[in-house]
Amino acid sequence: MRIAILKLLAERPMHGYEMIQEIAERTQQLWKPSPGSVYPTLQMLEDEGLIVAAAEQGGSKKLFELTEQGREAADKIETAPWDEITEDADPGQMNLSAALGQLAAAVAQSTHAASAEQQQRIIDIVNTARREIYQILGED
């Protein structure tokens, strides 16, 4: 987690939630860290003097950025963790993960944009897909 945060902040200042989203995106959803791992690491890095946090104007979110010492530490990191994760990943698993993410995004959008009838049709499609997946998994 530490290395990922330092590499991200070497690019630009970010919020904790933004870091979670970036890591998930860069690993094609293979690694989506929890807030319970990100925020304590941010606090530790801040305590070590590698990052500083500032409250965003008009908001309650903290924007984190590297200190000079943090930039030096980030520069020493040769390979970003998302590169290591995706380098050895099974292409089939990556494709499945990407397809699942796209499906989840479409379903999430439907909660705001679809009529009640359309939402029911979408529920039926998702339920059918789930059943068919279990049928596939049950094959010899």
The residue-averaged pLDDT of 25-39 equals 88
| pLDDT tens digits along 100-136 | 888 988 999 998 999 999 999 999 999 999 999 999 9
13: its two tokens: 């200042």
Say yes or no: 67 and 8 in one domain: yes
Distance, CA of 44 to CA of 40 (rounded, Å): 6
Place of tokens 């990191």: 77
My answer on whether 42 and 102 are in the same domain is no
84 has pLDDT over 90: no
Same domain, residue pair 15 and 79: yes
Do 6 and 74 fall within a single domain? yes
26 closest CA partner among 43, 14, 41, 44: 14
Does one domain contain both 69 and 39?
yes
Split into its structural domains, the chain has a count of 2
For the segment 38-66, what is each residue's pLDDT rounded down to a tens digit?
A: 999 999 999 999 999 987 666 677 899 99
**pLDDT score recorded for residue 99:** 83
The structure's pTM equals: 0.65
Q: What range does the domain containing 121 cover?
A: 91-137
How far is 110 from 128, CA to CA, in rounded Å? 17
Token digits for 83? 């590169």
C-alpha distances (whole Å) from 119 to each of 107, 114, 115, 125 are 9, 6, 6, 10
Same domain, 97 and 83: no
Question: How many alpha carbons fall within 13 Å on the CB side of residue 92?
Answer: 0
Answer yes or no: do 25 and 81 share one domain. yes
Average pLDDT, the chain: 89
Q: Are residues 74 and 22 part of one domain? A: yes
User: On the CB side of 41, how many CA atoms lie within 13 Å of its CA?
Assistant: 17
Alpha-carbon distance of 36 to 7, in angstroms, equals: 19
Supply the pLDDT for residue 59. 65
| One domain for residues 123 and 62 | no
Q: Say if residue 26 is in the same domain as residue 76.
A: yes
Give the pLDDT score at 36. Answer: 94
**Amino acid 98: pLDDT:** 76
The yes-or-no verdict on residue 68 having pLDDT over 70 is yes
